[in-house]
A and B are shown apart, each in its own frame.
Chain A
Amino acid sequence: MQRVQHQRVLLSLCLGLGLSLEPLVAEAGEGDVPVTHPSFDVAGGGSRPGHWATGLQVGFPWQAVHVQYGLKGGWTPFVEVDSALLRRTQPSIGMALRWVERPHVRLTGEALVGWQTQAGILPLNGPSLALRLRAAWVGRHLMPYTAWTTRHTLLIDQTLLETASGTESTLTVQPRWDALAVVGLAVALGPRVGLELGLEYPYIDGSAVTLPGFHLGLQFGGKP
């Protein structure tokens, strides 16, 4: 037991946070894995009824804020704002549903509706719909996971034609497709706080594979 405590202290020192002296498991599950944990819930998707979780993510090029609250029946509504270099921002509301919840395996589907906005000389503004699949292996302290997102945005362009007899308006709709694959690792530091590291592989506008991104996230939450 004393050896385990030393390991926790060492881990917390390495991460610069003194939070791991508390028990790591919020609710003991089968095989002593956490049934719910803010980091695992944000990265793996969904929350148990009555539990909330918040995630703050910084990285290159994406930053994000995520808040979710678990409802009965496996449903978890959430609000999410992600931004690429604070230039292309996508606020969304969504709903997550855990399709598979085993002691060590989670599979969650998420649907998001929102708005994509990018100002400047290359404007991208329009409503967006995103679907996301999260899969995770749940350990006691660690949770490797992957998330696959497909986002579809409608860019509505307006053309005003001013003729001698008046002004005509026409609208043109152009769909835009972005996809994002993430692999990461969530780390439980304490029952209410944890970290998450991830690598991002984007596919932009249906035609361009860009450089991979990375992020570091802080998650916290619990049950009111």
Chain B
Amino acid sequence: MSTSAPKLININKLRPARWTLVLPLLCGLLACNTTSELYEVSLEGSIQNSVSPSVPGIVTVTLYHASSGEGELAHPLEFIERFELDAPGDFSHAFLYPLDVGEGLVVYAWQDLDGDGILCAPDQTDEVAGVVEVSPFPAHAVVISLSMDAPCAGPEALFPPGDDSL
């Protein structure tokens, strides 16, 4: 069976006078289907390879909620988004932080030395990673300094700090 993407009505293309009255009325009086809250964040700072500072290689940066879920479903490191830098150094990146998914912001980065897109391998154990938790947060402008010094470490191995259960 073929499936198609859900049809979305772009309300921006409709006559605004009609929909600006009707939709807020329906949404406000009878409750919307869902309400998503996004928080605009400008992230900047520097990411350095403190083991081999001059070695080239793409840096993959991943943003996470520090914690998400409640009760028995509570867990760290809820994925937000991923982006890449050509090399270690200064950077800036803007993104939308979902307020209703979790709390806190964790930035994880690792450098791909052999260009295979994979953190370490049996013949490659020099790729390093690092993590930093942003504090205070939320804030619209965030400055971080991240040092990659942990070989072959995934985000779960580095955060929460001091958690050696994994």
Contacts and interface: CB of A to CB of B under 8 A. Distances in A.
Given A125-B32, A158-B27, A173 B8 contact: yes
Question: Could you tell me the dominant secondary structure of chain A's interface residues?
Answer: strand
Interface string B140-153: 11000000000000
Contacts of B38: 159-162
B11 A171 contact: yes
Given A155-B33, A173-B8, A161 B96 contact: yes
Interface string B19-48: 100011011001111111111100000000
A126 B4 contact: no
Given A125-B31, A175-B7, A175-B9, A156 B26 contact: yes
B30 A157 contact: no
Question: Could you tell me the dominant secondary structure of chain B's interface residues?
Answer: mixed
A167 B48 CA distance: 35
Q: Which 4 A-B pairs have the closest CB atoms?
A: A155-B33, A164-B140, A158-B32, A163-B40
Contacts, number: 73
Interface string A77-109: 000000000000000000000000000000000
B35 A174 contact: no
Contact of B4 (A156, A175, A207): A207
A162 B96 CA distance: 9
User: How many interface residues does chain B have, given as a range?
Assistant: 20 to 34
B99 interface: yes
Nearest to B31: A125
A115 interface: yes
A158 B35 contact: yes
Contacts of B39: 162
Interface residues of A, number: 23
8 contacts: A123-B34, A125-B30, A126-B26, A159-B35, A160-B37, A164-B40, A164-B140, A174-B9
B54 interface: no
B3 A156 contact: no
Contact of B3 (A155, A172, A207): A207
A173 B9 contact: yes
Given A127-B26, A156-B23, A173 B140 contact: no
Contacts of B7: 174-175
Nearest to A116: B33
A124 interface: yes
Interface string B61-82: 0000000000000000000000
Interface in A162-212: 162-164, 171-175, 207
A160 B96 CA distance: 11
Contacts of B136: none
A157 B24 contact: no
Q: Which of B4, B6, B33, B96 has the most CB of A within 10 A?
A: B33
